[in-house]
Structure 1
Amino acid sequence: MADEPLTIRLLGRPAIERPGQTADRLRSRKSWALLAYLLLCEARPTRSQLAGMLFSEADDPLRALRWSLAEIRRCLGDSVSIDGDPVVLLLSEGVAVDVDLLGRDWTAAVEAVGLGAELLDGLVVRGAPAFESWLLYERRRIAAASEAILHEAALGLLARGALDRACGFAVRAAAMSPLDENHQALLIRLYRLMGDDAAAERQYAAWTGLLDTELGVAPGVTIEAAMRERPRRRVGVPTSATVEAAIESGSATIAAGAIEPGVAALRSAVRLADAGAATSLRSRSRQVLAEALIHSLRGLDEEGLAHLHEADRLAVEDDDPIGSALARAELGYVDFLRARYDRAERWLSEAMDLADGSPVVMAKAATYLGSVHSDTADYPRAIALLDEAGRLSREAGDPRREAYALCMKGRVELLRGDLDEADHHLTTAVALAERVHWLSFLPWPQAFQGEVCLARHEPSRAAEIFQQAFARACQLGDPCWEGITARGLALVADAEGDSERAFETLRDARSRGTRLADPYVWLDAHILDAMCDLGRTHGHPETRTWIDTLRELASRAGMRELTVRALLHSAARGSTGDADAADLLAAEIDNPDLHALIRATREGRTQPC
């Protein structure tokens, strides 16, 4: 029956489950592959594309495709409609797909039975290299999504005071990615808050040993901060005015440039607020502290996240939608930086829903959400959101936010090859930032201005822009700004014929951009893409390693264009099936320049992407 409850499990060993019945399995591995592809792929593939991807070795590929489609219909019955060309799969209302849970709130997502298991575990499809490339991409993306949910669940339970349950999820997240410093910091912080100092010290020692063995480095500031965490002690009951004064004092100290004393004052404000009775002040003090940790005292985003989850919970309890919206916008921003784009999109969309028309909150959330869609190559949606963010920023009287939105829109146009529009918006962003004396922002739009000059074959002008931006970035000590401007200087060096200096500078750019526990992950992939370009051009011996690193990083995060570019780099070096896989992924991306690169790769014109 069409309304019969049914669950399609793709996490772990695939199965089709009905209540009270033995799990069904499709007989053909390629039928499972076809079903998974149709469920997970956003584009609508044609029959010829599906036949070529999965059944190219069959005597009659289209007939083999029809057989697999018929097997899916037989197994799912009235619960599925699957027909047409392009092929459209529609599920009835009673059908659940376990992977879909990964996009929901963490409280629902942790109920996914196979959370943390491999997508289509054990499935091997031979003679289908394009599908194998696509499946590798999806497996990495799903694994990263599962890991992000476990981490978010631990933070959410920490905010609720359920430290034991939080610790269980933190352990699972750390096991999935043992070298992730933020997972380790959260686990150590939980042990400290629980009063289990011995467990915290054991975890710290194990992490220190792993870092030394694997990377030859010492723990970063986020781990050291977690080791300093203590169970929260109450202080004397203050007045609301005292708490307000502590928040104002901390904020003013940070604005004056004394970051660490200001953060210390805001931590004191949180303790004072907890001793008082006003829930609104408990939420606001955490919000202000979290923003200082994330935007001012770099490297402590993990501590900031814990405060944001608590601020959100308190705002919800206090029936304060604007407070909750502000917390969720910042949660989305951190997930954006970490390339947890599904989680970021959820937080930011919820922030916009809760903002109650506030242009300040809406502008912030729309700017970050537009940036998320830019990173994942949904360019039409990115441009629409960034345009809206600019309008809302003007309405809110926030020229800094407007400059940020203009810069990110200019970046989209640069990536799509529209150099005139990119130049216009980046120049406007720079002028606006200069007008309001936001000099600490300038290296970001200037770096993309330099890339526009390089694309126009103006290396001298590009060098001038990059040198100024790099000097300013170093003065500020901002890892992200240093990384993007150093990347530009490397490309200038290559344009000037100094490939050795170019490679040295690109390595330095990666090192600068990732020196803290919370780098902007898209930037790391952007730098790697340049390394792959130059590596192919000059026949560098490490090019294959760079390509594989880019492919894994981009596919885990769901950076679709950068995944396509990694596949094209690999295809240009002769990897079977990667050009077809790139074509499949690029079908969902509105970028004429990218499609031109795919055609060039297929035609054997393997110049850098």
Structure 2
Amino acid sequence: MSLERDGVPLPAPRGRKSWAVLARLARATAPIPRHVLAEELFDEADDPLGALRWTLTELRRAVGLPEAFRGDPLPPLSTPGLELDVGELARGRLPEPWPEGRFLEGLDAGAGAAFAAWLAVERHRVDGELLAALRQHTLKAISARDAERAVSLAGAMVRRAPYEEGHHVLLVKALAESGDAEAAARQAEASERLFARELGVTASPAIRAAARPSVAGPVPGIGQHATATSLCEAGLAALAAGAADAGIECLRGATHAAERARDARLLARCLIELGTALVHAVRGYDDEGAVMLSAGLERASAAGDAALAAKAYSELAYTDLQAGRRISAAQNLAAAEGLAGEDLSLRAAIAGFAAMNLHDGGDPAAAAEGFGQALELSRSAGAARREAWVLGLGARSLYTLGRLEEAAEWAQGSCRVASSERWTAFRPWPEAWMGHIGLVQGRDPVDVREAAEATFVLARQIQDPCWEGLAAKTVGLTHLATGDPVTALAWMENAAALCRRVTDSYHWLDVEILLAVAGAAWAAGRTEHALDAAQRALALAAQGSMEAQVARGQEFLARSSGAA
């Protein structure tokens, strides 16, 4: 922690709690009454408000801004002339140089439980924001072929969170894209050894795959432009038929041919289609897909193709949504919306992703309204699969709001449209929410369980970890409803393991299942197990700015501590 003016270090403010006050105001989203801040940080003082006044005066002196830190309530910091690295992070920007330590690392503020609880959550938030910013800049550096910066940024991600596999994927990809194939292969091997040694698990194939060239070899004797166009169409056809591996290899070949043909627009299209396929068609490859999307975005922007750029932004936003990178998701969605024009199908996708971001960020009411708009756009565009997706995701928001009859209608509609489109791969999501809704409506848990078990079997056949996890959680809820918390806990634990077996799992669902584990463990008398699951859920929710789940985790821990 340090202060500087024009690059020159300044003396630190006196008083060990000055940094704590500064940090509390820097991260505030609403004004803080002075008595609240005094109680949090100075409750042991003879005159808590007086101690706070002295500290605020000391901060004004230290930063040289006499008008800062005034008022009651104290406003969040937005003082002209005062810039904070954590403030930059909260706006989705990366401070230069980027911080290596943790938020308020090494500070012993001697404060009470309220500040300690705030700091524990806020550290996870800041970690999430910093990692998201580092990732955004890593993708841009790879796209710009700035190998040195890309490797430096990705390396910082690995140091900060060494057991997040996606960070290793980006580091290996940065080395591979730099042209140093040997370094990429060595890093892939080192990353795999780390996971085996420290976690006792086998790293996914995504790390090794990141070390290979992004594209396949050319087709001899055929013009590159024709090759690229044909391979792109063949790849998309293969993906539509469910042949993911063949489709992706075709798209890799198309990308290589388009690059040789020196056709910027065609190359942009091939890269974006390849990135989209890696994100949606193969589990565990979101990070490599994001590299392709970012590269395609740069070329689409250079070629002046707004529609392609909008698609790339929207798909990048989707990868952010899956991982709980709330700020960068919103930024990418705003960019996509500004370029989408009159493409109703693309606008429907953007509106649906924006509503999903609202729900996951803790605002289901705004999300429900957004899903309504996305549904109208989907139907106007004749995009039936998008309609099924919107109905399924919207059903979750309506369920969360307690609008159960509407939620059931949306979930049933999603199943109906998905079935008519032969989109079996999506059906487990709305079916699982129908189970959730039925339990709250008072349906016989045994009947709900029978349907949920069928959904679980379908999800296992599809081999989608998120669908398997949600279906398993639904089965667990039926056992809780029949008074069998031990069996419920076994299903919840199974759900958590299934959902997290890939690196690009849906983090909102990860948290939801961890909270369900905590509830079932508590009901089964497994107190320590319950508290551990709740603490893991709280950390992941805070890192992903999932405010409703943060509140639920805090409430569970407070209630459990009181009961214990």
| TM-score over 0.5 (shorter chain) | yes
SS of 1:29's partner is coil
Gaps of at least 5 residues in structure 2 are none
Distance in 2 between residues matched to 1:399 and 1:85, nearest whole Å:
53
Match in the other structure for 1:480: 466
Match in the other structure for 1:140: 124
Distance in 2 between residues matched to 1:391 and 1:84, nearest whole Å:
46
Match in the other structure for 1:429: 414
Distance in 2 between residues matched to 1:518 and 1:470, nearest whole Å:
20
**Structure 1 residues 22 and 302: alpha-carbon distance in aligned structure 2, compared to 1, 3 A threshold:** closer
Distance in 2 between residues matched to 1:114 and 1:243, nearest whole Å:
40
Deviation at 1:172, TM superposition (A): 1.5
**Structure 1 residues 478 and 376: alpha-carbon distance in aligned structure 2, compared to 1, 3 A threshold:** same
The one of 26, 41, 53 equivalent to 2:40 is 53
Match in the other structure for 2:340: 355
Note the 1:179-578 alignment, pairs <5 A.
179-229=163-213, 238=223, 240-458=225-443, 459-540=445-526, 541-574=528-561
**Alpha-carbon contact 2:486-2:520 (below 8 Å) kept:** no
Deviation at 1:188, TM superposition (A): 2.2
Deviation at 1:45, TM superposition (A): 3.1
**Structure 1 residues 21 and 267: alpha-carbon distance in aligned structure 2, compared to 1, 3 A threshold:** closer
Distance in 1 between residues matched to 2:141 and 2:219, nearest whole Å:
24
Distance in 2 between residues matched to 1:393 and 1:374, nearest whole Å:
19
Distance in 1 between residues matched to 2:413 and 2:69, nearest whole Å:
49
Distance in 2 between residues matched to 1:303 and 1:150, nearest whole Å:
16
Deviation at 1:38, TM superposition (A): 2.3
**Alpha-carbon contact 1:195-1:231 (below 8 Å) kept:** no
**Structure 1 residues 76 and 378: alpha-carbon distance in aligned structure 2, compared to 1, 3 A threshold:** farther
* 1:42 maps onto 2:29 in alignment: yes
**Alpha-carbon contact 2:228-2:253 (below 8 Å) kept:** no
**Structure 1 residues 296 and 81: alpha-carbon distance in aligned structure 2, compared to 1, 3 A threshold:** same
* Greater displacement, 93-102 / 232-241: 232-241
What do residues 416-461 of structure 1 show as CA deviations (whole Å, max 9, x unaligned)? 4343443333333333333433332121122122112222343234
Deviation at 1:92, TM superposition (A): 4.0
SS of 2:32's partner is coil
Deviation at 1:527, TM superposition (A): 0.6
Amino acid corresponding to residue 176 of structure 2 in structure 1: R
Amino acid corresponding to residue 363 of structure 2 in structure 1: D
Deviation at 1:489, TM superposition (A): 0.7
Distance in 2 between residues matched to 1:48 and 1:408, nearest whole Å:
42
Deviation at 1:128, TM superposition (A): 2.0
Amino acid corresponding to residue 505 of structure 1 in structure 2: W
* 1:119 maps onto 2:119 in alignment: no
Distance in 2 between residues matched to 1:495 and 1:416, nearest whole Å:
21
**Alpha-carbon contact 1:47-1:86 (below 8 Å) kept:** yes
* Greater displacement, 327-336 / 291-300: 291-300
Distance in 1 between residues matched to 2:468 and 2:412, nearest whole Å:
20
**Structure 1 residues 255 and 175: alpha-carbon distance in aligned structure 2, compared to 1, 3 A threshold:** same
Distance in 2 between residues matched to 1:399 and 1:142, nearest whole Å:
39
What percentage of aligned pairs have identical amino acids? 33
Distance in 2 between residues matched to 1:179 and 1:280, nearest whole Å:
37
Deviation at 1:284, TM superposition (A): 0.6
Deviation at 1:217, TM superposition (A): 1.8
**Alpha-carbon contact 2:142-2:177 (below 8 Å) kept:** no
Deviation at 1:310, TM superposition (A): 0.8
Deviation at 1:523, TM superposition (A): 0.9
Amino acid corresponding to residue 409 of structure 1 in structure 2: G
Match in the other structure for 1:91: 78
Deviation at 1:486, TM superposition (A): 0.5
Distance in 1 between residues matched to 2:215 and 2:307, nearest whole Å:
29
What do residues 257-315 of structure 1 show as CA deviations (whole Å, max 9, x unaligned)? 22211211111111111111321110111111111111112222222111101100001
**Alpha-carbon contact 2:42-2:48 (below 8 Å) kept:** yes
Deviation at 1:487, TM superposition (A): 0.7
Distance in 1 between residues matched to 2:67 and 2:77, nearest whole Å:
6
The one of 150, 153, 164 equivalent to 1:166 is 150
What do residues 53-79 of structure 1 show as CA deviations (whole Å, max 9, x unaligned)? 233333343444444444444555657
**Structure 1 residues 464 and 164: alpha-carbon distance in aligned structure 2, compared to 1, 3 A threshold:** same
**Alpha-carbon contact 1:80-1:90 (below 8 Å) kept:** no
**Alpha-carbon contact 1:280-1:315 (below 8 Å) kept:** yes
**Alpha-carbon contact 2:185-2:208 (below 8 Å) kept:** no
Distance in 2 between residues matched to 1:391 and 1:31, nearest whole Å:
52
SS of 1:166's partner is helix
Deviation at 1:326, TM superposition (A): 0.6
Amino acid corresponding to residue 142 of structure 2 in structure 1: L
What do residues 75-121 of structure 1 show as CA deviations (whole Å, max 9, x unaligned)? 5565745555543246344432322332567xxx4443343332223
What do residues 477-520 of structure 1 show as CA deviations (whole Å, max 9, x unaligned)? 11111110101111112222332322221121112111112111
**Alpha-carbon contact 1:333-1:368 (below 8 Å) kept:** yes
Deviation at 1:370, TM superposition (A): 1.6
Amino acid corresponding to residue 453 of structure 2 in structure 1: Q
SS of 2:83's partner is strand
What do residues 125-168 of structure 1 show as CA deviations (whole Å, max 9, x unaligned)? 22321111111211122122222222332222211222232112
Report the RMSD for the aligned CA atoms in angstroms: 2.6
Distance in 1 between residues matched to 2:284 and 2:278, nearest whole Å:
8
Distance in 1 between residues matched to 2:256 and 2:211, nearest whole Å:
19
Deviation at 1:233, TM superposition (A): 6.3
